[in-house]
Structure formats: structure tokens, C-alpha cells
Amino acid sequence: MAQGTATASEPAHLTINGERLWAALMELARIGAYDDPATGLAGVNRQSLTGEDAEGRRLLVRWMEEAGLQVSVDEMGTIFGRREGAAAGLAPVMAGSHVDSVGTAGAFDGCLGVLGALEVVRSLNERGIVTRRPLVIAAFTEEEGVRFGTDMLGSAVAAGRLTLEYAYDLVDAAGLRFGDELERIGFKGERPVRLDPPHAYVECHIEQGPVLLHEDLAIGVVTGVQAISWQRITVQGRAAHAGTTPTDLRVDAGLAAAQIVLKVREMVDSGRYGRLRATVGLITTSPGLPSVVPDRAELTVDLRNPDDAHMAAAERDLAAFLDALPESQPAPGLGIDTQRMAKTHQVPFDERIQDEIAAAAADLGFDTIRLMSGAGHDAQEMAAITPTAMVFVRGQYDGISHNPREYSTPEDCTAGITVLAHTLLRLTEEEDD
């Protein structure tokens, strides 16, 4: 990049301010912070459209404005910060992620990608570098999906997989409607939600798994995202006295729930579904009293698979199991209801963008490997409308995430965002096809 408005053909060796990046991550992590009893650490609970999320959003908007970005908010509440380029008419290069969190989060999931892109802008500003193409930072709404039940929600609407109406009518566990909550926190924006395809999209994210740590690498180039299937299962039984009711007269919703948990684990262990992963994250029974046979149970089943055919087989066989479950009970009357929450296919990332990331990393002296993402990301939605790939940063403690122990070092975060910066600088120089 050149100083001033001229642009050079070769990206300069742009360094970022790792301390400023780390300070921003830690400051944002204080919003929604809580004392986590299980780990004794400070966790982060900044679920989408809560007061904490709104506070984090306002901080991000202030930082974006202070960095001279033109800030806009779309109809889903996604926040964009635009930095003009020398050739303003060209499609921008976009980088981003999300700042909403699960209820037991650390400081890095999503935030590294958004605050890292902001750090790139701050560093460009300090050197007076004007990129050829505009740069846009995106903080997508409800990436986690843990409050309104569908992950990558904001980016899925922006890229066209889901509709605004569908999103607005989603409700949380308390029956609060997404569209109303967006209005309540003041982030129901005017910007039309359907995104004009940027020139490219690159997302930097903590790996959230153990691969880079075990390979002793700080940086990974992400080849794609595995398929995701979420469903909510409601089991209807019959409340009865725990002492007087003979087993063969019971319609026990708690028993059925336990059988479902065991079934998904048996499916994983069977090897019949490739590299299937299954998680029953939520399981509740009611009335939840020691002397009452449960009359109702609710579970969520999260299935992940890098292969769409194996995922389809797993969903099909689980559905067959649920259909047959009532007959297998000691007494008739068990009811099973399933509700689809989220469903995404395996998404491959753009090879050329992967190569740009790998080349930027190599220029900076980082060895990398290519790996598929076990977690879902906004990048998988953006891949539908523009060439997209991701930079992974090593996580510590076996890469644990969705847990307050989630951690990456300042050095690795700086490395990841430096690779992001150089990848973006390469892409902003590109002509139109």
C-alpha cells in the first residue's frame, strides 16, 4: 500500500498493534462478564439482543466511528463499518465475524474476527495507507443461535438462505420475539439486509478445537465448514406417583429422553455415519419432582458431520428411532414431537482465497495447515455470495471453546490478525474479474 491516495501494486509489510488488539478483546469481554462457578474464571454471557449485547454493540459502533469508518446497521441488526478505498466504485473486501456469545463463553469466539478487522483498519489509519478497494467490517447478529434457536442467523439472512420474516418471528425461551427484541435494543437498522456481494470475505476465528495446538502451529487455513443439524424434541408422557405406579403402567417421558441420549451416542460410536458428532445440550423433565414420574421432557439434538450423505442418514435413522419409541415403552401413550431449529450443509471455502491466506502467512514466516472447521461460522453463509475463506488461530487447553477457559495467546492473536491484514491487503489490490 502507499502512503496517501496512491496505491502500490505490492502490499507493504503492515504490522498491527497486538497490545491494542488484546486490550480491545479484554474490554469487550468485560461486557457480559460473570463469575463462572465451574471454572472459577470470568466467563462471558452476551447473548444476542440482550442488554449486554446492546452494550457491546454500542462500544463497537463507537470504536468504528473513532476509526473513521462509515457505520451502518441493517434490518437484522448486523453492524457494518466501511473504510473507503482509492477506487471507491469497486466492490469492497469484507472481514468480520460476530460479537454475540453463548451463555458460557470466553473472550475470543467471534470477537477476534471483528476486533481484529478493526485493528487492521486502525493500523492502516496510522500509516495513512489507502487501500485500492474499500474495506468493510461486519459484526453479524445472532451467530451463536443459542437464544433464538438458529445459528448464523444474521449472515444467513444477509446472504439469502433465510428470510427476514422467518428471523423476526423466531422467539426465545421466554417467548420474546426476535424482531421485537431488535427494536427494543435500538438496533433494528434501515440498511436493506440482502448484501450486495463483496469482492471477497475473510474471517479470522479462534479454532475452537485441538488441531493447531497438537500440530504446534499458530495459524490454520480453513477449507470449509461441516454440516449442522439442530432439532428440539419434546416428549409427552404421563405424570404418575413414583411409588405406587407399577413400571408396566408408566408412560415415562424421562426414560424416553434418556433413551434418545443413548441412541445418538450409539449412532456416533457405530461408525455407520462417518465422523458424526452428536450433542444433547439441553435436557429438561417436568414436573421435575422426586416423587413424580416425568410427564414431559425436552431435548435439543445437535448433529455435525463433514459429509452431507452421512448427515442425511443420521437424521433419517434418528427420525425412525423416534417414530418407533412409543411402541417400545412399557405402556401406550408416549408422544414425540420434533421441531427443526437449524440445518446447514457442508460448505467448502474458495480455494483461491485459501491460497491467498496461505501465501500471506508464508510471507510472514508462518507455517500453516489446511483444516475443516468443526464449528459453524458466518463465513459459511458468506460463501454463498462471494469467494470466502477463514484464518484460524490456535486455541490453548485443547482448544476448548463455548467455555470460559477458551484462550489464545496475545502472540497467536497478533499473528492471526497480521495474516488477516496481509490477506486483505492482497485482495484489496485485485482487479475485477
Binding site for ligand HGY (CB under 6 A): 143-145, 151, 375-376
Least Cβ distance, residue 123 to ligand HGY (angstroms): 28
- Burial bucket for residue 12 (CB in 10 Å: 0-12, 13-18, 19+): middle
Specify the amino acid at residue 74. Answer: D
Contact yes or no for 373/224 (Cβ under 8 A): yes
Contact yes or no for 48/147 (Cβ under 8 A): yes
- Whichever of 1 and 156 has its CB closer to ligand HGY, that residue is 156
- Judged by beta carbon distances under 5 to 8 A according to partner kind, the member of ligand HGY, Mn ion, none in contact with residue 110 is Mn ion
- Whichever of 181 and 302 has its CB closer to Mn ion, that residue is 302
Measure Cα distances from 309 to 272, 274, 315, 317 in Å.
11, 9, 10, 12
- Whichever of 69 and 102 has its CB closer to ligand HGY, that residue is 102
Burial 123-134 (b: 16+ CB within 10 A, else e): bbeeeebbbbbb
- 269: cell is 460410536
- Whichever of 304 and 426 has its CB closer to ligand HGY, that residue is 304
Least Cβ distance, residue 354 to ligand HGY (angstroms): 20
- Whichever of 57 and 238 has its CB closer to Mn ion, that residue is 57
Neighbours of 188 (CB within 10 A): 18
Least Cβ distance, residue 155 to ligand HGY (angstroms): 10
Least Cβ distance, residue 106 to ligand HGY (angstroms): 12
Sign of CA dihedral 204, 208, 210, 213: positive
- Whichever of 81 and 374 has its CB closer to Mn ion, that residue is 374
Q: How far apart are CA 209 and CA 96, in angstroms?
A: 20
- Burial bucket for residue 3 (CB in 10 Å: 0-12, 13-18, 19+): exposed
- Whichever of 199 and 402 has its CB closer to Mn ion, that residue is 402
Contact yes or no for 207/220 (Cβ under 8 A): yes
Least Cβ distance, residue 379 to ligand HGY (angstroms): 11
Please state whether beta strands 227-236 and 347-348 pair in parallel, antiparallel, or not at all (unpaired). Answer: unpaired
Question: Residue numbers of the site for Mn ion (CB under 5 A)?
Answer: 109-110
Q: How far apart are CA 386 and CA 380, in angstroms?
A: 10
Least Cβ distance, residue 413 to Mn ion (angstroms): 15
- Whichever of 26 and 324 has its CB closer to Mn ion, that residue is 26
Least Cβ distance, residue 181 to Mn ion (angstroms): 19
- Judged by beta carbon distances under 5 to 8 A according to partner kind, the member of Mn ion, ligand HGY, none in contact with residue 376 is ligand HGY
| Cα dihedral: 388, 389, 395, 401 (round 10) | 40
Least Cβ distance, residue 14 to ligand HGY (angstroms): 29
